[in-house]
Structure 1
Amino acid sequence: MNRIGIYLRVSTEEQAKILEGSLVSQRRRAEEYIDGQNRREPNWGTIVDVYCDEAKSGKDMNRPEFQRLLSDIRVGRINLVLASELSRLSRSIKDFCGLLDFFKEHKVKLVTLREQFDTTTAAGELMMFNLVNFNQFERKQTGERITANFTSRAERGLWNGGVIPLGYKRNPENPGSLLIDETDADSVKIIFKIFLEIKNLRQTCLKLNDLGIRTKSYINGKGESKGGNKFTVASLYHLLTNATFIGMREINKKRGDVRQVKASWQSIIEVKDFAAVQNILESNRRRFKPDEWKTYPYPLTGKVICGECGKHLNGKSAHGKIQKHFYYDHARTLNMAGVAKHKCQVQRVRAMKFEDLVLSSLKQILARPELMAKAIEAYENANNKELPLIESRIKTIAEDIKVNEKKAQNIIQRIEELPSELSAELFYKRLTEINKKTQELKAGLLELESQKRKSSQSSVSESSLKARVEYAIKHLSEAPKEKHREVFDNAIQFAEIHATKLRLGVYGGYSNLKDSKVHPIEGSTTIKNGGGCEIRTRVTLLV
């Protein structure tokens, strides 16, 4: 019997909001097709789940429900994917090729209602790829038409949409123009005046926030209230460099080759004041950020963790009297008033010094085999204790899902038997609650099954761990600093720093290592799809 996953998708929120629109039509056609197949061939297939992406483009695979479908395929829940047409799955030939290989790898069949291709034959596969190519062409051509239209409107000084700057409001009679909001316009004038006096972004932020001046408040397309926040250096810089305030329309600002044309709205700030602000900002940039200073690569980004608060330390820099200093620090050390936000003993660590410490710690692991043996033993003990608990939890949740599904079936049966003059609203409400709970349980079950695979498939040996550490030491010692990140990514999951010790999470499996002398350890698994993900064993070493 086929275990079917129905995939539905529409590209815009407007399509998703139509009660009897495309999503409903796609689902009904799929269900009718399955019913017809089951009449011709008893027990042909049953629907396991429906995966619905609302307002998601098919240009890539970054769609939550689509990724959930792929996860269910990996664990064996689905062996047939049913969609109304190929363009629902993907409009990218590159992604589709990888998707088709993924289906073949997991022995999953693909059925589309419109095309009805047979992918088991060379001719059917060729026709399918050609159609996907045309879908990609159509998507790109549509994008080019929209871009050309937006550029044409911008050349005429018209507003193309987006968040309206502080000091302006939408013109109800002409969507391509803006009207001055007198109240907010006064705030814009005050902001420019204060900056011209202080000549410093951070100090200007503090002054504006003390005065109660906030960023633009607006309601987005979903009806949610946005903005109205305190000014930050980034938001203030964006406002001060926005030529909208002098009645100019900027074109290609994001691409760098920016041009300005006369806008269809009036100015709030005088040109001479705007030019004076730009000169101050440029002067500050040259003073504090000389062009000859290069950006530091921060190879341990995302791996450095504070041992006290558990938060990641991010790459930052500071300007000394002689040179620029690079370090790893908490995401925000000071609030807007300049008061420290955390009291951890480890405030910040110099980047190069800490990276050298990690390298010397790896060398120390090789010099002290007892550290490695102790860490492997602790890892295996934890793994052995964890697996029975995970299996027990999986069994409990699976039983809860069956109970909920039975409850849902009973409610559906009662609704069908209910007299037409009586309202079924309470039944529908209860059915919605049960279905929601069932979906939560299924999501939890998938997570537990993933943990079980990691626990059962992962293993590590002293020789393989030693080989990985040796590989990392060799390449960290020989490669330039900008190449260190990929070495750390393959060797270390985290580097947790305390006041007097360092904890390293070192992978025991191998992925993408180019040293021909290195062999993957038994039980290490790599699963690749789209961007790729990995299951790798990890042991924690205390140095």
Structure 2
Amino acid sequence: MKRIGIYLRVSTEEQARIQDGSLVSQRQRLIEYVDGQNRRDSSWGVIVDFYCDDKSAKDMNRPEFQRLLTDIKLGRINLILSTELSRLSRSLKDFCEVWDLFKKHDTGFITLREQFDTTTAAGEMMVFNLMNFAQYERKQTAERISANWAARAKRGLWNGGSIPLGFDRNPKSPGELLPNETEAKTVTEIFKTFLEVGSVRETCREMSRRGVFSKRYTNKHGIEKGGGHFTVPSLFRILTNRAYIGLREINKSKNEVEVVPASWSAIVDKKLFEKVQKKLAANKNKHKPDEWKKYPYPLTERLVCGECGKKLGGKSAHGKNRKHHYYAHPRQLHSDGVSQHKRCRVETVRAERMEDILIKSIKDLLQTPDLIERWLEVYATSNHSEIPALEGRIKTIESEIEQKKRRSQNLVTRVSELPPEVPADGFYSQIQELNKKVVEFENLRKDLLSKSTSLKGQAIDKMGLIEKLRSTISRLEETPTENRRPLYSNLIEFAEIHPTKIRVGLKAPTLPPTQYKATGTDSSTGNPKNSKFSDCEPRNLSLATRGGSTTVTIGARGGT
């Protein structure tokens, strides 16, 4: 008796919600087909489950389709019914993969429209020919839609997407926008405020102080969106949006921008809009001598906040006499004028000062060889003590994997022995959960094995480390700032910023396993200074292996 899975599909959620729509019709036709076959042969087949998707068949990223494939692998079904081939897939590449899976698990499929017999070579050939036509049809449809959208855009019509603040969609003509008088006043207020305060960020803060928020709307799923504080990027988009002066920009994604008259009227005075554009352009180059325009930020990707773990990126600010460069949190770069996050104690660090601190820390380290020796002994001892614990965890995990595999196999055996009329849904969910756990444990086991191998095989080359530090310092002093990033990247794994200290991870060369012997005891260093912008002192060394390369972690004191 065939174990049948019925696959139903429509292209959108809206189609799926229609009563007596396509899904209902597909289901009815397929059930009638099974009933007809069973009238001719009472043991022909039984419907095991229905799989209903509301997504396009352009790829396999469909939840119910993935569940169908899982049930095929588990042996739960061996025949798939669908009304037509395009319900399963419109991609030839995807269908080839699925077809291989069907053959591997002795699974056939029947489509009502085409009446394919996949057990013959001729039937298989016809399936692939039709798949070629289905894919061709999908691509043609996409091309027609793209051409139609381009033509509509050239006529100044709205093609969809988020409606800008100040407009509403015209229910009678979807390609047109209607002015929203209340929001239009808000847009004009934003433009005028920008000219008064002189910067997008200050305008953003001023709007927050006045209680002016972004556009609130209800999406197609009935969920309310928007109504929050403006951000700098969102406010910048408003100030540069030509839709407010009755113009439509097209081909922006292709960098071939064309401006055409829009099908809606302007809500912002054209002279006001042009004044804002001139001010934005002036701000872009204001007080920017050539030597101020760019700073290379050589520690990019190296600096990390010790509290939140985020990487610090480059930022600049203008003083009275010079431009100041900082490394700052990502949220600082996109501030909305109102704090929505828990702030870290160290928000920014001076770029030049940070680089001086790191160089001085490394120089201090070179002047204290005994300290390096003690740190390496601590590293060797800590690695030696970690290995037995890691091996114990690996054995425990391997035992868990074997146990779960046995349980899964026992459940599969029980399912195969069940009578056809007894549902097996509970067993399948247990099998899937066990298989998921096995994969998780396998990945964890690989990670622990990698770490154990690394701890056993890598020891720091003391002389190699000292030579690398000395060589890098010498080259940093001779190299212009704009060319220093590769040197820092080769030496520094990370620099973790804390309010009163900086932890620096160095990429240290390692010895072959035969040269390594774990010896030594723990030790500590002197007390750090605690004053702001005090000199750096190496402290609190820990050593760890990261991804096969050894990272030496030192602590440096210094103001940020």
Relative to the length of structure 1, the TM-score reads: 0.63
1:367-406 equivalence runs, <5 A: 367-406=367-406
Identity of aligned residues (%): 42
- Find the counterpart in structure 2 of residue 128 from structure 1: none
Secondary structure in 2 aligned to 1:234? helix
1:190-339 equivalence runs, <5 A: 190-216=189-215, 227-253=226-252, 258-287=257-286, 289=288, 293-306=292-305, 312-332=311-331, 336-337=337-338
- Name the aligned partner's letter for residue 242 of structure 1: N
The 2-side partners of 1:414 and 1:275 are apart by 76
The 2-side partners of 1:154 and 1:250 are apart by 8
**Aligned-pair distance for 1:322?**
0.6
8 A contact 1:376–1:461 mirrored in 2: no
Q: Residue 16 in 1 paired to residue 58 in 2?
A: no
Q: Figure out how many residues of one structure are paired with residues of the other and give that number.
A: 412
Q: Residue 476 in 1 paired to residue 476 in 2?
A: yes
8 A contact 2:230–2:336 mirrored in 1: no
Task: Flag the 1:319–1:377 CA change in 2: closer, same or farther, 3 A.
Answer: same
- Name the aligned partner's letter for residue 16 of structure 1: N
Secondary structure in 2 aligned to 1:379? helix
The 1-side partners of 2:154 and 2:374 are apart by 68
**Aligned-pair distance for 1:295?**
1.7
- Name the aligned partner's letter for residue 426 of structure 2: L
The 2-side partners of 1:222 and 1:435 are apart by 35
**Aligned-pair distance for 1:147?**
8.4
- Find the counterpart in structure 2 of residue 30 from structure 1: 100
Task: Flag the 1:292–1:494 CA change in 2: closer, same or farther, 3 A.
Answer: closer
Task: Flag the 1:156–1:396 CA change in 2: closer, same or farther, 3 A.
Answer: farther
Task: Flag the 1:288–1:215 CA change in 2: closer, same or farther, 3 A.
Answer: farther
Equivalent of 1:540, from 553, 556, 560? 553
**Aligned-pair distance for 1:148?**
8.0
The 2-side partners of 1:169 and 1:465 are apart by 65
**Aligned-pair distance for 1:236?**
0.7
8 A contact 2:205–2:336 mirrored in 1: no
- Find the counterpart in structure 2 of residue 43 from structure 1: none
8 A contact 1:379–1:540 mirrored in 2: no
Task: Flag the 1:338–1:438 CA change in 2: closer, same or farther, 3 A.
Answer: closer
The 2-side partners of 1:489 and 1:220 are apart by 46
Task: Flag the 1:493–1:197 CA change in 2: closer, same or farther, 3 A.
Answer: same
Task: Flag the 1:429–1:340 CA change in 2: closer, same or farther, 3 A.
Answer: closer
Task: Flag the 1:461–1:301 CA change in 2: closer, same or farther, 3 A.
Answer: same
Cα shift readout 1:128-179 (whole Å, capped 9, x = no counterpart): xxxxxxxxxxxxx999999888766544434455544334455677665545
Secondary structure in 2 aligned to 1:267? coil
8 A contact 2:231–2:336 mirrored in 1: no
> What root-mean-square deviation, in Å, do the aligned CA atoms of Structure 1 and Structure 2 show?
4.2
Task: Flag the 1:378–1:263 CA change in 2: closer, same or farther, 3 A.
Answer: farther
Task: Flag the 1:15–1:286 CA change in 2: closer, same or farther, 3 A.
Answer: same
The 2-side partners of 1:365 and 1:247 are apart by 65
1:107-122 equivalence runs, <5 A: none
- Find the counterpart in structure 2 of residue 466 from structure 1: 466
8 A contact 1:460–1:522 mirrored in 2: no
The 2-side partners of 1:242 and 1:351 are apart by 35
- Name the aligned partner's letter for residue 61 of structure 2: A
8 A contact 1:375–1:541 mirrored in 2: no
Secondary structure in 1 aligned to 2:259? strand
Structure 2 segments unaligned to the other structure (5+ residues): 1-54, 69-87, 107-127, 129-139, 514-545
1:172-187 equivalence runs, <5 A: 177-180=176-179, 184-185=183-184, 187=186
Equivalent of 1:522, from 494, 506, 512? 512
- Find the counterpart in structure 1 of residue 532 from structure 2: none
- Name the aligned partner's letter for residue 373 of structure 1: E
Task: Flag the 1:225–1:34 CA change in 2: closer, same or farther, 3 A.
Answer: farther
- Find the counterpart in structure 2 of residue 505 from structure 1: 505
**Aligned-pair distance for 1:190?**
4.1
The 2-side partners of 1:159 and 1:330 are apart by 37
The 2-side partners of 1:170 and 1:447 are apart by 53
- Name the aligned partner's letter for residue 249 of structure 1: R
8 A contact 1:305–1:496 mirrored in 2: yes
**Aligned-pair distance for 1:407?**
2.6
Most deviating of 145-154 and 479-488: 145-154
1:74-85 equivalence runs, <5 A: none
The 2-side partners of 1:505 and 1:222 are apart by 49
**Aligned-pair distance for 1:341?**
5.5
Secondary structure in 2 aligned to 1:316? strand
Larger Rg: 2
The 2-side partners of 1:146 and 1:457 are apart by 59
Task: Flag the 1:199–1:35 CA change in 2: closer, same or farther, 3 A.
Answer: closer
The 2-side partners of 1:144 and 1:478 are apart by 57
The 2-side partners of 1:216 and 1:14 are apart by 34
8 A contact 1:375–1:540 mirrored in 2: no
- Name the aligned partner's letter for residue 326 of structure 1: H
Secondary structure in 1 aligned to 2:436? helix
Cα shift readout 1:102-121 (whole Å, capped 9, x = no counterpart): xxxxxxxxxxxx9xxxxxxx
8 A contact 2:208–2:338 mirrored in 1: no
**Aligned-pair distance for 1:400?**
2.0
Secondary structure in 2 aligned to 1:250? strand
**Aligned-pair distance for 1:452?**
3.1
The 2-side partners of 1:421 and 1:457 are apart by 58
Secondary structure in 2 aligned to 1:488? helix
Secondary structure in 1 aligned to 2:295? coil
1:20-99 equivalence runs, <5 A: 21-22=88-89, 25=95, 28-31=98-101, 34=104
The 2-side partners of 1:236 and 1:505 are apart by 40
The 2-side partners of 1:16 and 1:221 are apart by 22
- Find the counterpart in structure 2 of residue 488 from structure 1: 488
Task: Flag the 1:177–1:361 CA change in 2: closer, same or farther, 3 A.
Answer: same
The 2-side partners of 1:203 and 1:442 are apart by 53
The 2-side partners of 1:249 and 1:191 are apart by 21
The 1-side partners of 2:387 and 2:282 are apart by 61
